Amino acid sequence: IRFDDEFLFIGKTDDELSVVCRTENVPENTINREDGWTAYRICGTLEFSLVGILADISRTLADAGVSIFAVSTYNTDYILVKKALQEKAEEALLNAGHQVTSQALL
């Protein structure tokens, strides 16, 4: 795992360890993997007092038939969608009044 990569998430529970990273940085000993994602960073720091931003985005995408994989840090939230649905996702977000900038993180 390259800890110096700009996009890396690690999550652990009692029965799994999940790593979200660029395809070219997937560890060799990975048991399961799924490639082909695009990541959108929700711009700005989402303070805990702000309510409904992530829900609005996920609802917009769900209504458009786009499933998501959400990951968060303390300061930032990311929405991942399959690359095959990228155009559909961006169209739905734009139609709902969200700004979408093209900067692929994955």
Indicate which CATH number applies to the domain containing 51.
3.30.2130.10
pLDDT band at 106 (very low <50, low <70, confident <90, very high): low
Q: For 17-49, how does the pLDDT look when each residue is reduced to its tens digit (9 = 90+)?
A: 999 998 888 888 898 999 999 998 887 655 556
What is the domain extent for residue 89? 8-95
The pLDDT value given to residue 28: 86
The pLDDT value given to residue 82: 96
For the chain, how many structural domains are there in total?
1
Q: For 47-64, how does the pLDDT look when each residue is reduced to its tens digit (9 = 90+)?
A: 556 667 888 899 999 999
Integer Cα distance of 83 and 23 in angstroms: 13
Q: Any idea of the CA torsion for 90, 84, 38, 91, to the nearest 10 degrees?
A: 0
> Does the residue 73 lie in any domain?
yes
> Does the residue 106 lie in any domain?
no
> Does the residue 101 lie in any domain?
no
